[in-house]
Structure 1
């Protein structure tokens, strides 16, 4: 699995996705055994609303960028994951600066994965949580069916 899109990106063989760059995404560690990923975001003031707090859609994108990589780290080389359903709960306002994220793949059932995610501020307070469902798409070329 270390030869998949995620790990090639982490090794610098592929560019970091634009959205990850915008969010200030950085891998801290991946725990294969627990299927968890730990990341940091350097949330800039470009992500804020007029009141100076991080916009909720940006926090949702951060959660997606915790949960998605938790799946991508475990996928085969020819698989990708698409978010099909996501529910976010906002618990407190987020300020620009370092935000930590944890994503966990809870289970995979065929071509469907279920995840949960959490964002925390620099004081360890939970900012937002989410659960999501992802569809796994197999991009491997198929042999034509004999007619």
Structure 2
């Protein structure tokens, strides 16, 4: 996702693996500037990855108006170490007219869940340019 419309998305520098209607997978390499003092993925960065992938996936739904996060509830389950490749996935659970409920998961190449989230995004008054 080096061509992300989001500056933070460009900084995260993910590689899009798959995108379909209502789901998306992106790969990231854990860099030193993403780690805490213990050399593992910082929880704030894991949250940022989840928020960015979820937001990008909702944007890709092609709605007329932009959506923004109302909440982002994250659980951190295992560590991802410096140099490790992780995959973030997002999927729509329920898409209403104004609110879209989504879930996101970060897992490593062995399939171990690193972090997961649930989020609600609400429609804004900002029209997405054609």
TM-score, normalising length: structure 1 = 0.78
- 1:90 equivalent to 2:100? Answer no
Q: 1:30-109 alignment to 2 at 5 Å?
A: 30-32=19-21, 35-76=22-63, 78-96=64-82, 97-109=84-96
- Structure 2 gaps, min length 5: none
Q: After TM superposition, which residue ranges in structure 1, 4 or more long, deviate above 2 angstroms?
A: none
Alpha-carbon contact 1:24-1:43 (below 8 Å) kept: no
Look up the match of 1:145: none
Query: Which structure features the higher share of strand residues?
Result: 2
TM-score, normalising length: structure 2 = 0.87
- 1:116 equivalent to 2:103? Answer yes
- Structure 1 gaps, min length 5: 1-8, 141-147
Alpha-carbon contact 1:103-1:118 (below 8 Å) kept: yes
1:48-77 CA-partner distances (Å, limit 9, x unpaired) = 11110111000001111221122111033x
Number of residue-to-residue matches in the alignment: 126
